[in-house]
Amino acid sequence: MAARLVFAGTPDFALASLKALVESGRVPVAVLTRPDRPAGRGRKLTASPVKRYAVERGIPVLQPATLRDEPVVGELRELRPDLIVVAAYGLILPQGVLDVPAHGCLNVHASVLPRWRGAAPIQAAILAGDDTTGISLMSMTAGLDCGPVYRVEEIAIGDDETAGELHDRLAGLGGRSLVAHVDGIAAGELDASPQDEAAASYAPKIHKRDAAIDWSLPAREVVRRIRAYNPFPGAYASVGAALAANSAANSATNSGLKALLQGERIKIWRAAVADGDGEPGDVLQFDRDGIAIACGEGAVRVDEAQLPGKRRAPAHEFVGQIDLAGRRLG
């Protein structure tokens, strides 16, 4: 007899696991997802990727604002789940919900636990320069990502891989790992191993302010931050004062390029470590042959950047939109 599953998830990372379940014939009896939220310039209420997929396939959807209300817990009990599968749901499951399924709640977590518990494990792995990461199938407890682990799948992190690219690979891996092991877990046939608390590390939620580039760091760390904050929130630098008498602002005005305003932000989406020396933030090169910016140690070669209100542009196009020669970035 097929296990009765309830699925809880919200963004695209969760959608990969839900799709894997449905396409393997393990259709949940219901889906839990966050309430619709305003999005876009019009702030129109928008359903989550998980909700849209569930509605298309006729799977009942529950969208409680909190899981702490007894009527919500009662509704889950009536579903009689063998297992609640959780992937990037976005709400904390209180003990009353954890106790509902016969075989507990299973979390698809994007790290090799106990490393990088918390909200942003993908970004944390890149920021730390980890060589590998992976997916953990964890039995949920009241603590933060500290429950025993059923299975771990590891993958290497690419040298220039962004958080967005790694997210997509881990989402797919999570779905495959879930399908491979969910039946045994739902039947209570697989054992889980406790985590080593001494080896635990924490990955806090990412905020926009975290993405401001600190050019005093070594170039390799600056590049990690650019990778980790692609696509959200996007690493950025502010335009500083001109360093030469023949200022970039005058150059921009004379050439018809966009005039620079001190403090204006540009986003940097892709970069690599390069040779170079100067005061942190100095624009060492800004021409058709490349863009180079000095760091506390070495320099960064910018491969893709973006002006406010414009699309991302490769370096050879970006230098035709604005003139940063002789500037220092903040």
pLDDT tens per residue across span 80-125:
999 999 999 999 999 999 999 999 999 999 999 999 999 999 999 9
Looking at the structure, tell me whether residues 181 and 49 fall in a common domain: yes
Q: Return the CATH number at 295.
A: 3.10.25.10
Confidence bin at 160 (pLDDT 50/70/90): very high
117 and 228 in a single domain? The answer is: no
Q: Which amino acid is at 26?
A: R
Whether 162 and 225 map to the same domain: the answer is no
Residues 87 and 178 in one domain: yes
46-54: long-range contacts at Cβ-Cβ below 8 A with a sequence spacing of 24 or more?
48/10, 48/11, 49/10, 49/11, 49/12, 49/14, 49/15, 50/7, 50/9, 50/10, 50/11, 50/14, 50/15, 50/18, 53/15, 53/18, 53/19, 54/18
Boundary residue ending a domain (173, 203, 233): 203
Looking at the structure, tell me whether residues 37 and 112 fall in a common domain.
yes
160 and 236 share one domain = no
242 in the same domain as 195: no
Query: Are 124 and 227 part of one and the same domain?
Result: no
Average pLDDT over residues 183-191: 94
Predicted TM-score of the model (pTM): 0.93
Looking at the fold, whether 175 and 34 belong to one and the same domain comes out as yes
Amino acid at 310: K
The maximal CA–CA distance of the chain, rounded, in angstroms, is 79
Could you give the CA distance from residue 25 to residue 57 in angstroms, rounded to a whole number?
Answer: 12
The residues, ordered by sequence, that sit 6+ positions from 276 with a Cβ below 8 Å of its Cβ are: 284, 285, 292, 293, 294, 298, 299
Distance separating alpha carbons of residues 92 and 140, to the nearest angstrom: 11
pLDDT of residue 258: 62
Q: How confident is the model at residue 43 (pLDDT cuts 50, 70, 90)?
A: confident
Question: Domain ends where: 183, 203, 223?
Answer: 203
Q: Tell me: pLDDT of 6 over 90.
A: yes
Q: Name the domain count of the chain.
A: 2
pLDDT at 253 over 50: no
CB burial of 291-314 (b: ≥16 within 10 Å; e: otherwise) equals bbbbbeebbbbbbbbbbeeeebbe
State the residue range of the domain holding 268. Answer: 208-329
Question: What band does 243 get if pLDDT is binned at 50, 70 and 90?
Answer: low
Residue 6: Cβ within 10 Å count = 24
Specify the pLDDT at position 244: 54
| Residues 6+ positions from 165 with CB-CB distance below 8 Å | 158
Domain boundary among 159, 176, 203: 203
What is the reported pLDDT for 256?
53
b/e burial code for range 84-106 (CB count within 10 A of at least 16 → b)? bbbbbbebebeebbbebbebbbb
| Same-domain check for residues 177 and 46 | yes
Q: Residue range 267-291: average pLDDT?
A: 95
Least confident of 110-124, 161-175, 236-250: 236-250
Q: Is 237 helix (H, G, I), strand (E, B) or coil?
A: strand
Looking at residue 257, its pLDDT comes to 59
Is the pLDDT at 208 greater than 80? The verdict is yes
Distance (Å, whole) CA 2 – CA 6: 13
Residues 199 and 144 in one domain: yes
Question: β-pairing, 30-32 with 61-62?
Answer: parallel
CB atoms within 10 A of CB 173: 19
User: Average model confidence (pLDDT) for the chain?
Assistant: 93
Name the nearest CA neighbour of 139 among 96, 77, 182, 202: 182
Spatial separation of the C-alpha atoms in residues 231 and 234, rounded to whole Å = 6
Across the strands, what pairs with 30?
Answer: 6
> Looking at the predicted structure, is the pLDDT value of residue 232 above 80?
yes
pLDDT of residue 44: 87
The whole-number pLDDT of residue 197 equals 96
Q: How far apart are CA 105 and CA 139, in angstroms?
A: 6
Q: What are phi and psi of 173, to 5 degrees?
A: -65, -40
Q: How confident is the model at residue 252 (pLDDT cuts 50, 70, 90)?
A: very low
Between these two residues, 253 and 236, which has the higher pLDDT value? 236
Joined together, the tokens standing for residue 317 give: 């196009």
The whole-number pLDDT of residue 2 equals 83
Q: What is the CB neighbour count within 10 angstroms for residue 34?
A: 20
Residue 143 vs residue 252, higher pLDDT: 143
User: How far are the Cα atoms of 156, 216, 246, 301 from residue 288, in angstroms, in the given order?
Assistant: 34, 26, 19, 13
Are residues 181 and 259 located together in one domain of the fold? no
Rounded Cα gap, residues 220 and 299, in angstroms: 9
Confidence of residue 279 (pLDDT cuts 50, 70, 90): very high
> Which percentage of the chain shows pLDDT scores above 70?
93
Note the pLDDT of residue 246. Answer: 44
Burial 252-278 (b: 16+ CB within 10 A, else e): beeeeebebeeeebbbbbbbbbbebeb
Domain of 142, CATH number, reads 3.40.50.170
